Amino acid sequence: DVKVTQSSRYLVKRTGEKVFLECVQDMDHENMFWYRQDPGLGLRLIYFSYDVKMKEKGDIPEGYSVSREKKERFSLILESASTNQTSMYLCATRTGEETQYFGPGTRLLVL
């Protein structure tokens, strides 16, 4: 079974802090994704990566950056957290197959 883990289930940070959200997968998948989910909206793609050190902007990359130094780990970075980044963050992975495999999510509150 594919396992996708995220470093925290819940996180509380202050405005202006630098925040790191970590995602680790154990199945050697090439593609990794970061989404955010807000009430009443579908999951929105922030960034994705199709290989180590490769990244592409998704639909809402502003205020975020990513890092993929190793194949199994994809980090989402909030350079200076703001209250409008309070959200549920989901990481996902994919091989050459179509299906995406999700982590359990990190609920981030920025005060």
Partner 1 sequence: ILNVEQSPQSLHVQEGDSTNFTCSFPSSNFYALHWYRWETAKSPEALFVMTLNGDEKKKGRISATLNTKEGYSYLYIKGSQPEDSATYLCAFRISGGYNKLIFGAGTRLAVHP
Residues that bind partner 1 (CB under 8 A): 4, 31, 35, 40-45, 48, 50, 56, 58-59, 90, 94, 98-105
* 7, 102 contact by CB (below 8 A): no
- Report the SS3 class of residue 30: coil
Q: Which is nearer to partner 1, 37 or 65 (CB)?
A: 37
The residue whose two tokens read 């009443």 is 40
Could you tell me the smallest distance in angstroms from the CB atom of residue 2 to partner 1? Answer: 10
Could you tell me the smallest distance in angstroms from the CB atom of residue 79 to partner 1? Answer: 23
C-alpha span between 68 and 110 (Å, rounded): 24
